[in-house]
């Protein structure tokens, strides 16, 4: 049986639509990969150039530092080192310096005028705490109570103990005191040092001479 002349003897199949989509996706991914590669290459060149700039700047600073070190006078440098050591030692000594003038100024400020000390003994115990012991008199027991309240309110004279209290015939009171001091009361304070008195230059005197009247 012979075939109809309208039926072709061979044919080429046409690609389907999904195949075209896969080809387009592959091309887009390749373009993106080339873009990332190019960007990485540019970043690598930038890092390399920046590293060279930093290396050149460091070399320049090292040269300048070496020149500055070479220009330093060793005698002057040793003098500055000795001065620094002396200042550091002076600061350490001043920090540990004890000045009881602060305690006396405190007593003068808070102690009632009707209470006075007849003797005072100030000392530093082995632990570094300042101790005060003394004896005194008060005009009355109420005056002594006011002094105790003033010590407690101020807080710089701690653990104050009044003992051997004796009331005399004139109602005056004698007592003994034992207490400890706050460290800041006996710490040396340069700002509290009295200022040097100003030297006043003597006023200039002028002598006026009078001539005898002409005849």
- Lowest mean pLDDT segment, chosen from 7-16, 39-48, 107-116: 7-16
Q: Can you give the pLDDT at residue 8?
A: 58
Q: What percent of the chain has pLDDT over 70?
A: 70
DSSP 34-65: HHHHHHHHHHHHHHHHHHHHHHHHHHHHHHHH
CA distances from 40 to 30, 50, 51 (A): 15, 15, 16
Q: Can you give the pLDDT at residue 207?
A: 40
Q: Can you give the pLDDT at residue 102?
A: 79
| 147 neighbors 116 (Cβ within 8 angstroms) | no
| 144 neighbors 173 (Cβ within 8 angstroms) | yes
d(CA 132, CA 113): 20
Residue 11 banded pLDDT, cuts 50, 70, 90: low
| 104 neighbors 96 (Cβ within 8 angstroms) | no
pLDDT tens readout for residues 61-98: 888 888 887 777 778 778 888 888 888 777 666 656 67
Question: Any idea what the Cα angle at residue 145 is, between residues 144 and 149, rounded to 5°?
Answer: 120
* pTM exceeding the 0.95 threshold for the entire prediction: no
CA distances from 15 to 6, 10, 27 (A): 23, 16, 18
């Amino acid at each position: 049986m012979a075939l109809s002349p309208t039926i072709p003897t061979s044919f080429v199949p046409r690609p389907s639509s999904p195949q075209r989509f896969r080809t387009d996706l592959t091309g887009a991914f390749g373009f993106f990969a080339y873009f990332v590669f190019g960007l990485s290459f540019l970043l690598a060149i930038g890092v390399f150039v920046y590293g060279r700039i930093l290396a050149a700047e460091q070399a320049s600073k090292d040269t300048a530092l070496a020149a500055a070190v070479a220009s330093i006078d060793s005698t002057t440098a040793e003098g500055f080192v000795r001065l620094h050591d002396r200042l550091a030692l002076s600061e350490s000594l001043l920090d540990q310096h004890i000045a009881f003038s602060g305690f006396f100024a405190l007593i003068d400020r808070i102690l009632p005028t009707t209470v006075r000390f007849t003797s005072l003994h100030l000392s530093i115990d082995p632990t570094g705490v300042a101790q005060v012991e003394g004896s005194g008199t008060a005009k009355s027991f109420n005056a002594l109570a006011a002094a105790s309240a003033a010590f407690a309110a101020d807080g710089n004279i701690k653990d104050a103990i009044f003992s051997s209290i004796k009331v005399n015939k004139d109602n005056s009171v004698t007592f003994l005191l034992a207490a400890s001091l706050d460290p800041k009361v006996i710490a040396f304070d340069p700002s509290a040092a009295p200022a040097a008195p100003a030297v006043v230059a003597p006023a200039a005197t002028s002598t006026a001479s009078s001539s005898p009247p002409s005849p």
